[in-house]
Chains A and B, each alone.
Chain A
Amino acid sequence: DTEVTQTPKHLVMGMTNKKSLKCEQHMGHRAMYWYKQKAKKPPELMFVYSYEKLSINESVPSRFSPECPNSSLLNLHLHALQPEDSALYLCASSLGHAAVYEQYFGPGTRLTVT
């Protein structure tokens, strides 16, 4: 199994809703990442988990809350989002967090906040 899966593929939510994005990999990778990608822009790093511990938070607003329940799963909990949070949310994983390890990306969840 050499892929990262993400669910759901599309999500529409209101500003008062609570929802979660899910990411899963079974490659034995110990580093997992959340990125946000706006249209026609490169991905922007949000969070890094290394060995199930949060190691990098790129000053992301608290309405985004990551969780890594085990080494294969990564969640992103969403609450009270704003319309400008609409974007493609990408999950990635790598064998470790060191620079030599390439990151494998999932297909993304396209989020629309209404």
Chain B
Amino acid sequence: GNSVTQMEGPVTLSEEAFLTINCTYTATGYPSLFWYVQYPGEGLQLLLKATKADDKGSNKGFEATYRKETTSFHLEKGSVQVSDSAVYFCALRDDKIIFGKGTRLHILP
């Protein structure tokens, strides 16, 4: 069946550091891929998405590229801020959303 694997957290970085959160997927067909963010005490917000191979999703300085050859959708940001501290979920969508386990990110001032 379809699945999503993302790096275990927590990830702790200093402000202005470069961020990468790895995400790989297993799927039949060509699912849409998403990154969702969940801030403490809140629901999920869609951060970015890509619907086909080589698409790049971007939002708020975050980027991820749909790589079919490596079945990956890694999340990157060039310079993180304290306000980026949250849990990040990689997900794929075919009939329903399949989430990864989530990566907790702590940014230190």
Contact = CB atoms under 8 A, between A and B. Distances in A.
B56 interface: no
B97 A105 contact: no
Contact of A48 (B94, B96, B100): B96
A90 B44 contact: yes
A8 interface: no
Nearest to B100: A42
A96 interface: no
Given A99-B32, A102-B34, A102-B49, A42 B93 contact: no
Contacts of A92: 44
30 contacts: A6-B43, A41-B101, A41-B102, A42-B99, A42-B100, A42-B101, A42-B102, A43-B44, A43-B99, A48-B96, A56-B96, A92-B44, A99-B31, A99-B32, A99-B93, A99-B94, A99-B95, A100-B32, A100-B51, A102-B32, A102-B34, A102-B46, A103-B46, A104-B46, A105-B36, A105-B43, A105-B44, A107-B42, A108-B42, A108-B43
